[in-house]
Structure 1
Amino acid sequence: MSSNVSKICSIVDESVTKVGFFGGLIKAFKKQRHVDVWLKAGDDTDAIPAHKLILAARSKVFSNILETDDCKASSKETITLSEMTKGELETFLEFMYNGSLPETKLVQHVHSLYLAADKYGIPYLQDLCRNQLIDSMNTSNAFVLLEIAKIHSDEILQDSISEFITRHMEEIAFSSKFMSFVESYPALTVQMIRGHVNKVKRQID
């Protein structure tokens, strides 16, 4: 067997091992083995069973919640995530157990997952969502995304959107949302307009 074939076989074996390793967590979640905490969405009365250890390992905020005396003393602790729908909560928990998500689910729930990642202190999930938000940016949703970035003090997302708006200033300046944005963020507007002017000057030079 050639060295290249051996390397490929090794990579395949490693991938299978990883799938089996993380698959055990998913099976434990789906079969509700040894569950010790329940999560409830804001739009549903039925709680979803989960494991404190997984939640605490993925999120510092959940770790702090689960370390409270009340939570330790309870045999069936229920935590309500009122900001999420049932579908969003199920997708959120899938990430918590699997450490990843299919692209279709990430796209579908990217806004709610981004908010949850920020609220519950899950930087890796926030990075995934931020990248997806940046990839989906266009002249129609740029101001909405910039509002989100400002609310959550996400400088990386804000800088990417500001750069996008600067590049597309001629089109965006005549949109219906531009005036309300100017009124809400005059300093940022000035900054982006100056950036656009500098870009035009460089093109002329």
Structure 2
Amino acid sequence: MNPIRATKRIKIAEELPEGSMLPENIRRPGETNEMADVKFIVEGEIFSAHRAVLGARLAVFKAELSESDSAAEREEVIPIMDMQAAVFKLLLEFMYTDNLPEDALFEIIQGLMVAANKYALEGLVVRCQQRLIKNLTLDTGTDYLIFADQNGFSKLKKECLQFLSKEDIIRKLALSLKHGLMGVNHPSLLHELREVYESRTLF
């Protein structure tokens, strides 16, 4: 038997195109369209999506969605109880587009980071973390430090400690209300911050 020979060479792109490679008619998570075959309800809001897309991105969803195969079961709306609707919307958008909107509120990004960690979306965790780090200020630094410590985000916690331990920042923090509140509510974090500051000032 003669081997099969390719009659035409396929040119492979050197760079991936920007944005999603999904067809336009299934690239709008949350919107009702003919190809959507699963629905979620979050805080009373309905989101339509595609089992194939979710299953390809998340092993958790793949296991849950594969349990129902009949047409009747596919009409069921799946409730999401532990997430804000705004967070779930961005979670879906990232799964479809690998995009995190520039205008996303930082409070929502924190919730999104927790959700991404829960569903093992490492790329989204990194994107959220980078966005928060870029937004570090005296006001946000302590909030993000507490958030990182409570949720086990070690990289974000380290960045917050490094930022807050800067000479000019820690002096302002020492004079602020946030310093007192951290000492009362999170004494271990205040102790860690002092240790980082002292390690930076040693020669």
TM-score, structure 2 as length reference:
0.76
Aligned residues: 186
User: Following TM superposition, by how much is the alpha carbon of 1:83 offset from its aligned partner in structure 2, in angstroms?
Assistant: 4.3
| 1:152 aligned residue | 151
Amino acid at match of 1:116: A
User: Following TM superposition, by how much is the alpha carbon of 1:27 offset from its aligned partner in structure 2, in angstroms?
Assistant: 5.9
C-alpha spacing 1:58/1:106, structure 2 compared with 1 (3 Å): farther
Contact 1:59 1:120 in 2 (8 A): yes
| 2:21 aligned residue | 21
User: What is the RMSD computed on CA atoms of the aligned residues?
Assistant: 2.8
3-state SS of paired residue (2:197): helix
Amino acid at match of 2:46: A
| 2:98 aligned residue | 99
Q: Does 1:37 align with 2:38?
A: yes
Amino acid at match of 1:79: I
3-state SS of paired residue (1:116): helix
1:75-94 matches, within 5 Å, as: 75-94=74-93
Contact 1:37 1:49 in 2 (8 A): yes
Task: Name the CA distance, whole Å, in 1 between partners of 2:60 and 2:41.
Answer: 17
| 1:111-169 deviation digits (Å, cap 9, x = unpaired) | 23212212222111111000000000110011211121112101111111111111121
User: Following TM superposition, by how much is the alpha carbon of 1:75 offset from its aligned partner in structure 2, in angstroms?
Assistant: 2.1
Comparing 127-136 and 160-169, the one that deviates more: 160-169
3-state SS of paired residue (1:22): coil
Identical pairs, percent: 22
More helix by share: 1
| 1:128 aligned residue | 127
Contact 1:118 1:152 in 2 (8 A): no
Contact 2:53 2:96 in 1 (8 A): yes
Task: Name the CA distance, whole Å, in 2 between partners of 1:134 and 1:161.
Answer: 8
Task: Name the CA distance, whole Å, in 1 between partners of 2:145 and 2:95.
Answer: 27
3-state SS of paired residue (1:93): helix
| 2:140 aligned residue | 141
| 1:146-196 deviation digits (Å, cap 9, x = unpaired) | 121112101111111111111121111221122221233333322321322
| 1:12-45 deviation digits (Å, cap 9, x = unpaired) | 8x53xx6573344416975623322111121x2x
| 1:31-72 deviation digits (Å, cap 9, x = unpaired) | 623322111121x2x4221112212222233233334x4x45
3-state SS of paired residue (1:47): strand
Task: Name the CA distance, whole Å, in 2 between partners of 1:28 and 1:187.
Answer: 42
Task: Name the CA distance, whole Å, in 2 between partners of 1:160 and 1:20.
Answer: 31
Contact 2:113 2:129 in 1 (8 A): yes
Amino acid at match of 1:151: Q
| 1:5 aligned residue | none
Contact 1:169 1:193 in 2 (8 A): no
Task: Name the CA distance, whole Å, in 2 between partners of 1:62 and 1:161.
Answer: 33
